[in-house]
Structure 1
């Protein structure tokens, strides 16, 4: 039975077309994935279904949810349907949750707003759905706050809110993009289980074809606001009749070829590093406890080598990264760069700090939006004793932008004038401008869609050929780490449990934890195998 029917949907803002004749259907108990690059219209299609379009949006066509025309309903009726007949799971759970309200109150709020149950029954239902999404009462009481949960746990709370009233349709907008591979696998399995258990329809918005291949019954491929291909998932991935679908598949399977690393010469040495965090007192006069986030980690990064660091959220990757940068004090061990200690006591040494730069996950969040690009990428100059000025500074800016595939003319623009991939190129230009000896990439491509990610990885490979580029690449995306590093470290609960040549570790993992990470990672299906098993 058709639950959702989108027929010839066109949207425009101030007469600027956004969507062009989009049509799709979702049946009860069916998972339909909408995929495409950023800006293809995926999220706008989802927001149209739930009636959350921007002001002054002109919509034509029809959206029928269980027989009701969503475009014709007044806001009062749409409010009655949201959370009741249709639920929404957003990409970033921390922005979807209220930080000053408990998870129990937030899940129960959906029920109370619709006056579906009295308060006590609403609390009981909140407890029931939190248990269902894998947050049992003994570990996750209703009194917990969002900041006390991990990213995957917060996403489970958002899913609990969306299913509290057992909606007929669930819309999930990139619900696993920022999650590590094991948490992503758990969330995807949870969504599949909810569809099977409640018989709801699931409209999944994602750019990851590997996720789509294992999850969706049908796939809708969008580009520039249009549906370019649709059909049963295995049929579409086997035949890929549209060039854009083939391009997405190729970008998802993209591999880069790094130049050979030079002969081993130690650059960064991390020896028995320990990082403790103080915990609050459990009693008034009791001594404070300590949590050991990094437990005696040791490794060496050679000059010109590309080293990967992988592990689940909370394993200590980011804590270790901050310690290497001199942004975190350490309680034991030593960190040296080119023979010089990074820290003097607990204070970062400026003469060592200038030899390192970092590229963050969210380039927009790491830039001041009020400054132009020329000022943004020259921020590292403050570490230099004699920063370049005048024409020398201009030449440095022009070369940094040119090296990352941008134009010197971009120096006068603001960061909001660029796409996500271009912003990440600017972040890399900022890291390169002082010619550091070491660059740390902290989840630098995890928020990018597959085609932009492929471009950034190609850029890194080109930079490795142009410079003796040494970097530590921190990521939860195993497919990216496999293609962009020479060696890899696997971190679990603050310890390095396995390390070695990247291909050797991925092909023949020795530690059970490494094996579990590899098993959890979504994999693109083999096209030849799909063609062989499908009828001619």
Structure 2
């Protein structure tokens, strides 16, 4: 008998079908990956296993954990199972953690709620669990709070909470989506190690086949609430039967065709830029320290050129981006756009600022949900001395929405009426509407499904041909940077350690850190021809 057996699971919420006849099973010591696009039913399947369903949910079928029917288990008994027999790692650790409680208290909380041991023993056990996930108390005291840790470290705390009582089943819901490649590799290695060491079953939910291609024993592909294909990983990857599975595979390794550029005129010039942050005093009479986020960075971005910037979290990418936008003062060096300084005195130069726009990682968070699309994408008009009005304004809105693959009628809708990919298209329309000379893409496709990501990358290639875009593309996803840029810079600890033609850097990296990043990136196996089709 398998550890977890899901048989003919159907789920509806207020009469709306969500899951349809879902079947999967997990054995102890095995990893099963459930993959598919957003809305395919992956997370709802996991929540059904935990019996954490919303009001109005109705289920049919069976979910058995160690032979016990979960769907008929009373809530009081499920509370005893959650955290003890089933652990769950959520996608966004900052929202899964309590910001006002220390990491030690949060790991201990799982132990104490289940009364697994006295408080004194719970403290020692929390230390050992945190040590097991790579956070030794000597370097990461239990008194630290979530905001004092990096994204990867916070994810390790969430994993520690989930495995504190060594559950038989661990569910990981997109645990690496927002992490850089080296941290992602560490988290995946950690999860594989826990399965080997504890013999637990792991249900891994992800939208990226490349993440699980070399770690899962079995892959389950879901679409529109149904399992369209499932099987052992090697068999499925080498003999894909369903067109949707092949589409996911192709999208995971999507390549775009950028138009040629003859960029030889400097547009953005960054010269010996230094940005320091003051650190708090360690003692009452101690001199305050400082952290150098950007260290003597210099580069030139030519007109019509597409430049990539890669590096781990905390390497200084975002600080450098804010400095280029004039949102951060620098202690040394200068930043010029088209020959003019970005900062005049201590304020952004408005004549320069209107020539730059930015596309953020989270499009929903960068929009005001109370405003309609027409107002949202025309926000940059306030940078202009004479913004367009009347018919000219409406024509500009229609042109931009059409350029990003949307309809002019979408101008009258609210942002919540769109999918994630459509929201990112709207964000790109907002960046383009005043025809800036430079666009900064800050992790603009990191949170998107692989198929949606492929569509956005194709859109950027089309826009490059139409508008001759010049952009700085910041990302931790090396496969994306490789296909969407002409040149790439690699940043480590505030310094540019390597830069050059994109393909040359990826094919023949000169710096050890660049090789580390490339080696850590998940790669789909080269399996040639699948089911009679080229992949």
Quickly name the TM-score band, shorter chain normalised: over 0.9
Whole-angstrom distance in 1 between the partners of 2:315 and 2:122:
35
Cα displacement (A) at 1:415: 0.4
Cα displacement (A) at 1:263: 3.7
Q: Which structure 2 residues correspond to residues 16-165 of structure 1 after superposition, within 5 A?
A: 16-165=16-165
Cα displacement (A) at 1:285: 2.7
Q: Which structure 2 residues correspond to residues 267-282 of structure 1 after superposition, within 5 A?
A: 267-282=267-282
Q: Which structure 2 residues correspond to residues 497-536 of structure 1 after superposition, within 5 A?
A: 497-528=497-528
- Which residue in the other structure is 2:439 paired with? 439
- Which residue in the other structure is 2:417 paired with? 417
Contact 2:26–2:202 (CA<8 Å) still a contact in 1? yes
Residue 32 of structure 1 aligns to a residue whose secondary structure is strand
Cα displacement (A) at 1:140: 0.3
Q: Which structure 2 residues correspond to residues 128-207 of structure 1 after superposition, within 5 A?
A: 128-207=128-207
Whether 1:457 and 2:470 are equivalent positions in the alignment is no
Contact 1:43–1:173 (CA<8 Å) still a contact in 2? yes
TM-score (normalizing by structure 2): 0.98
Cα displacement (A) at 1:278: 0.7
Residue 268 of structure 1 aligns to a residue whose secondary structure is strand
Cα displacement (A) at 1:98: 0.4
Whole-angstrom distance in 2 between the partners of 1:267 and 1:301:
6
Whole-angstrom distance in 1 between the partners of 2:517 and 2:324:
25
- Which residue in the other structure is 2:257 paired with? 257
Cα displacement (A) at 1:281: 1.1
Whole-angstrom distance in 1 between the partners of 2:263 and 2:270:
20
Whole-angstrom distance in 2 between the partners of 1:139 and 1:331:
31
Contact 2:5–2:26 (CA<8 Å) still a contact in 1? yes
Whole-angstrom distance in 2 between the partners of 1:335 and 1:360:
21
Whether 1:466 and 2:466 are equivalent positions in the alignment is yes
Whole-angstrom distance in 1 between the partners of 2:297 and 2:156:
32
Whole-angstrom distance in 2 between the partners of 1:263 and 1:440:
17
Contact 1:234–1:530 (CA<8 Å) still a contact in 2? no
TM-score (normalizing by structure 1): 0.98
- Which residue in the other structure is 2:360 paired with? 360
Whole-angstrom distance in 2 between the partners of 1:140 and 1:167:
24
Residue 38 of structure 1 aligns to a residue whose secondary structure is coil
Contact 1:293–1:494 (CA<8 Å) still a contact in 2? yes
Cα displacement (A) at 1:269: 0.2
Cα displacement (A) at 1:530: 9.3
What is the RMSD computed on CA atoms of the aligned residues?
0.9
Residue 2 of structure 1 aligns to a residue whose secondary structure is coil
Cα displacement (A) at 1:320: 0.2
Contact 2:263–2:305 (CA<8 Å) still a contact in 1? no
Whole-angstrom distance in 2 between the partners of 1:5 and 1:74:
19
Cα displacement (A) at 1:425: 0.1
Spell out structure 1 runs of 4+ moving beyond 6 A: none
Whole-angstrom distance in 2 between the partners of 1:412 and 1:278:
46
Cα displacement (A) at 1:432: 0.2
- Unaligned stretches of 5+ residues in structure 2: none
Whole-angstrom distance in 2 between the partners of 1:376 and 1:529:
45
Whether 1:299 and 2:295 are equivalent positions in the alignment is no
Q: Which structure 2 residues correspond to residues 228-247 of structure 1 after superposition, within 5 A?
A: 228-247=228-247
Whole-angstrom distance in 1 between the partners of 2:244 and 2:294:
44
Residue 466 of structure 1 aligns to a residue whose secondary structure is helix
Residue 527 of structure 1 aligns to a residue whose secondary structure is coil
Cα displacement (A) at 1:529: 9.0
Whole-angstrom distance in 2 between the partners of 1:286 and 1:246:
61
Whole-angstrom distance in 2 between the partners of 1:200 and 1:287:
50
Say if 1:98 and 1:27 are closer, same or farther in 2 by CA, change over 3 A: same
Whole-angstrom distance in 2 between the partners of 1:528 and 1:408:
42
Residue 3 of structure 2 aligns to a residue whose secondary structure is strand
- Which residue in the other structure is 1:403 paired with? 403
Q: Which structure 2 residues correspond to residues 370-385 of structure 1 after superposition, within 5 A?
A: 370-385=370-385
Residue 141 of structure 2 aligns to a residue whose secondary structure is coil
Q: Which structure 2 residues correspond to residues 327-346 of structure 1 after superposition, within 5 A?
A: 327-346=327-346
Contact 1:102–1:146 (CA<8 Å) still a contact in 2? yes
Contact 1:107–1:157 (CA<8 Å) still a contact in 2? yes
Residue 365 of structure 2 aligns to a residue whose secondary structure is coil
- Which residue in the other structure is 2:482 paired with? 482
Residue 117 of structure 2 aligns to a residue whose secondary structure is coil
- Give CA-to-partner distance per residue, 1:54-76, whole Å, 9 cap, x none: 11101110000111111101111
Contact 1:308–1:481 (CA<8 Å) still a contact in 2? yes
Whole-angstrom distance in 2 between the partners of 1:377 and 1:529:
43
Number of residues paired by the alignment? 531
Residue 104 of structure 1 aligns to a residue whose secondary structure is helix
- Which residue in the other structure is 2:14 paired with? 14
Contact 1:360–1:442 (CA<8 Å) still a contact in 2? yes
Contact 1:330–1:346 (CA<8 Å) still a contact in 2? no
Whole-angstrom distance in 1 between the partners of 2:22 and 2:285:
65
Contact 2:326–2:343 (CA<8 Å) still a contact in 1? yes
Contact 1:103–1:142 (CA<8 Å) still a contact in 2? yes
- Give CA-to-partner distance per residue, 1:445-481, whole Å, 9 cap, x none: 0000100000000000000000110000000000000
- Which residue in the other structure is 1:534 paired with? none
Residue 258 of structure 1 aligns to a residue whose secondary structure is coil
Residue 364 of structure 2 aligns to a residue whose secondary structure is coil
Whole-angstrom distance in 1 between the partners of 2:6 and 2:198:
22
Whole-angstrom distance in 2 between the partners of 1:322 and 1:346:
14
Contact 1:251–1:454 (CA<8 Å) still a contact in 2? yes
Whole-angstrom distance in 2 between the partners of 1:338 and 1:214:
47
Residue 125 of structure 2 aligns to a residue whose secondary structure is helix
